[in-house]
């Protein structure tokens, strides 16, 4: 019985140490993060077919401990699309440490902790809870039928609440898509 207790204590200490080391590594990664920059190749539009394609990369940089889209989080990047256009998000996870997913959700408080019903039919990667590992992803295709503010939100529990979201604005007033930082808008 005593041996079992000592073994249990050793295992608990080892797990605690592992957790502290992992948190330290994530913290160091977050502290070394730099601000994101927009890459013009992220956005392609075809006015004739009313289609916008956006390259959406989870964990593109170390910003927010890797919990970012295209190097941005907490709404600092804004994708604007015309209402009724075909939207294709080419989603890929580049974060070597964490799985990620994406879904389009209404921009409303409070921020959800995990997956919710998407704002538009098919506006999700699937695998919302468990996410995709590094190098994995898929296309998300939907048509935004209503105008308003929305979020591209990582639905892996806790990620969106930790700031892994950018803005999607669906507008009746624009005739072409655009991407900008929140400060540029």
Confidence band, pLDDT 50/70/90 cuts, at residue 35: low
Q: From CA 77, how far away is CA 74, in angstroms rounded?
A: 8
Mean pLDDT over residues 49-53, rounded?
A: 98
- For the segment 147-177, what is each residue's pLDDT rounded down to a tens digit? 999 999 999 999 999 999 999 999 999 999 9
**Residue scoring higher pLDDT (22 or 149):** 149
Q: Rounded distance, CA 153 to CA 167, Å? A: 9
Report whether 103 contacts 121 (CB < 8 A): no
Q: Are 141 and 122 in contact (CB under 8 A)?
A: yes
pTM of the complete model beyond 0.75? yes
The CATH T-level fold of domain 40-181 is Immunoglobulin-like (2.60.40)
Q: What's the pLDDT tens digit per position in 93-151?
A: 999 999 999 999 999 889 999 999 999 999 999 899 999 999 999 999 999 999 999 99
pLDDT grade for 185, boundaries at 50, 70 and 90: confident
Residue extents of the structural domains in the chain? 1-32, 40-181
Q: Does residue 54 have a pLDDT over 70?
A: yes
Residues 6+ apart with CB under 8 A from 130: 99, 101, 156
Rounded to whole angstroms, the Cα distance separating 53 from 56 reads 9
Tally Cβ neighbours within 10 Å of residue 115.
19
Helix (H) / strand (E) element for 26: namely helix 2-31
CA-CA-CA-CA torsion sign (185, 121, 45, 59): positive
What pLDDT score was predicted for residue 108? 85
């Amino acid at each position: 019985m005593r041996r079992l207790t000592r073994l249990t204590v050793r295992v608990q200490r080892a797990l605690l140490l592992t957790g502290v080391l992992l948190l330290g590594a994530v913290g160091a990664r977050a502290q070394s993060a730099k601000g994101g920059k927009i890459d013009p190749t992220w956005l392609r539009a075809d006015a004739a077919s009313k289609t916008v394609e956006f390259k959406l990369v989870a964990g593109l940089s170390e910003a927010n401990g890797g919990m970012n889209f295209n190097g941005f989080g907490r709404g600092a990047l804004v994708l604007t699309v015309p209402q009724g256009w075909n939207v294709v998000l080419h989603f890929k996870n580049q974060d070597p440490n964490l799985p990620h997913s994406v879904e389009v959700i209404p921009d409303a408080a409070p921020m959800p902790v995990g997956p919710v019903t998407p704002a538009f039919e098919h506006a999700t990667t699937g695998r919302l809870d468990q996410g995709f590992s590094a190098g994995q992803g898929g296309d998300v295709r939907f048509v935004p039928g209503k105008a308003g503010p929305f979020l591209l939100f990582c639905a892996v529990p806790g990620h969106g609440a930790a700031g892994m979201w950018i803005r999607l604005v669906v507008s009746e007033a624009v005739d072409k898509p655009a991407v900008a930082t929140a400060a540029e808008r």
